[in-house]
Amino acid sequence: MTNALIIGGGIAGAVTAMALQKAGIDAEVFEAYETGADDVGAFLVVFANGMAALRVIGAHGPVVANSFPAERVEFYSGTGKRLGERPLARSADATDVGPRTLTRATLYRVLHDEARRRGIAVRHGKRLVAAETVSDRRVVASFGDGSHAEGDLLIGADGIHSVVRKLIDPAAPRPRYTGQNTVCGYTRDVKPPSAPDTYTMIYGRRAFFGATAAPDGEVWWFANVPGPERSRQDLAAVTADQWRHRVVALLDGDRTPAADVVRATGEHIVASHAYDLAATPRWFSDTMVIIGDAAHAAAPNAAQGASMAIEDAVVLAKCLRDRPEPRRAFGAYEELRRARVERVVAQSALMARRSAPGTLRRLVRDVMLPRSVERGGGGADAWLTDYRVEW
């Protein structure tokens, strides 16, 4: 039986392991962190396309059970002007699961629990430092703790700062810092700005803000805040108090509830850098391949990174099922995925530019967005969310 080494126990890693099992391929997951992953404080949406890919491997149930629906989005200008509303749950198939909101930590936990329940080994504390193809087309992975693992192929699901990407192509481009921090917070001490299952998106004069409410009334919010790229340590050293002050300072003066939501938030504030990675020239070698954020990463604006990682995982497993020679399977996977994921990265970058502050942008947006929403634009597109992986 083919044996796959999966590097990274994030979203792509856990889903790939389950999809490979369905394809009759044995897999082990190696995760750098002792528990979960870093930056688990943010929340995200898994759209209908991501949920449908999870459904292919029968893993959608636990995600649904630990999340809440994201049915629609309302847009406001920083002046308080309502720009429109549109549904997020766009799907031609009534049996589909619509978009779901949950924290990244919950998504990791649920997918890991489900993988373990299926008998898949997830090894923590295993940070890949090197890998090489040995003579008989086997691959040996070396970890920071001095241990090794050998398999027929290695799948780099090791995220935006992927080591596997560099092993496949030492000249691979670095992720681009978009110049934005995404700050997320959670508070029960304020009235939710929107109805349940609804996202309120505000094009503030100095920062873009979004919020939704969990079923228990807790408000989950994020703000895209311009700032310099810092080291991991420097970013972690910024306190909740400092982020609150920074975000409130940017939102104060807008005629919206955003600043009050942030002001009402206590310690539960986290921030991360927003990166993207438009085109990675080489996705695979004879024995190694990259998926998810390791291969392509979109700025968070389109909110499709997790869904793309899930789709990648299922498509790759299907290609490996149908083509026993890894290199051919990797080529087929790239052919099926590259155009779609690069389009998502481009779309997300465009959304990031459109949501950036600026008087001219605001004037154009206040006129154009209501028209675009009327025509069905202003959010997720059918080409994105109607996509289905055929198993």
Ligand X SMILES: Cc1cc2nc3c(=O)[nH]c(=O)nc-3n(C[C@H](O)[C@H](O)[C@H](O)COP(=O)(O)OP(=O)(O)OC[C@H]3O[C@@H](n4cnc5c(N)ncnc54)[C@H](O)[C@@H]3O)c2cc1C
Q: Is 16 in the site for ligand X (CB under 6 A)?
A: no
**Interacting residue with ligand X among 6, 25, 27, 31 (CB under 6 A):** 31
**Interacting residue with ligand X among 33, 177, 387, 391 (CB under 6 A):** 33
Closest Cα to residue 293, out of 219, 348, 354?
348
Q: Is 185 in the site for ligand X (CB under 6 A)?
A: no
Q: Is 62 in the site for ligand X (CB under 6 A)?
A: no
Q: Which stretch binds ligand X (CB under 6 A): 10-18, 79-87, 277-285, 329-337?
A: 10-18
Q: Is 334 in the site for ligand X (CB under 6 A)?
A: no
User: Measured between alpha carbons, how far is 28 from 3 in angstroms, rounded to an integer?
Assistant: 8
**Interacting residue with ligand X among 78, 193, 292, 378 (CB under 6 A):** 292
Q: Is 175 in the site for ligand X (CB under 6 A)?
A: no
User: Measured between alpha carbons, how far is 254 from 197 in angstroms, rounded to an integer?
Assistant: 24
User: Measured between alpha carbons, how far is 226 from 282 in angstroms, rounded to an integer?
Assistant: 31
DSSP 96: S
Could you give the maximum distance between any two Cα atoms of the chain, in Å? Answer: 66
Residues 193 and 36 sit within 8 Å (Cβ to Cβ): no
Tokens of 192: 């939710």
Angle at 313 between CA 311 and CA 319, to 5 degrees: 100
User: Measured between alpha carbons, how far is 31 from 29 in angstroms, rounded to an integer?
Assistant: 6
Q: Report the nearest approach of ligand X to the CB of residue 79 (Å).
A: 26
DSSP 199: E
User: Measured between alpha carbons, how far is 97 from 95 in angstroms, rounded to an integer?
Assistant: 7
Instruction: CB nearer to ligand X: give 18 or 157.
Output: 157
Q: Which stretch binds ligand X (CB under 6 A): 42-50, 170-178, 208-216, 236-244?
A: 42-50
Q: Report the nearest approach of ligand X to the CB of residue 347 (Å).
A: 13
Instruction: CB nearer to ligand X: give 131 or 373.
Output: 131
**Interacting residue with ligand X among 200, 307, 347, 385 (CB under 6 A):** 307
User: Measured between alpha carbons, how far is 304 from 166 in angstroms, rounded to an integer?
Assistant: 24
In degrees and rounded to multiples of 5, residue 146 shows phi and psi of: 90, -5
Q: How many CB atoms lie within 10 A of CB 300?
A: 22
In what order do the strands lie in the sheet containing 128-134? 128-134, 138-143, 148-151
Q: Which stretch binds ligand X (CB under 6 A): 28-36, 314-322, 344-352, 363-371?
A: 28-36
Residues 122-151: x where in contact with ligand X by CB under 6 A, - otherwise, as a string: ----xxx-----------------------
Instruction: CB nearer to ligand X: give 175 or 300.
Output: 300
CA atoms within 13 A on the CB side of 193: 28
Q: Is 311 in the site for ligand X (CB under 6 A)?
A: no
Q: Report the nearest approach of ligand X to the CB of residue 367 (Å).
A: 28
User: Measured between alpha carbons, how far is 141 from 123 in angstroms, rounded to an integer?
Assistant: 13
Site for ligand X in 74-103 (CB under 6 A): none
Q: Is 309 in the site for ligand X (CB under 6 A)?
A: yes
**Interacting residue with ligand X among 5, 6, 8, 187 (CB under 6 A):** 8
Q: Report the nearest approach of ligand X to the CB of residue 92 (Å).
A: 21
Contacting residues toward ligand X, per CB under 6 A: 7-13, 30-33, 37, 42, 44-46, 104, 126-128, 157-159, 163, 182, 272, 292-294, 300, 303-307, 309
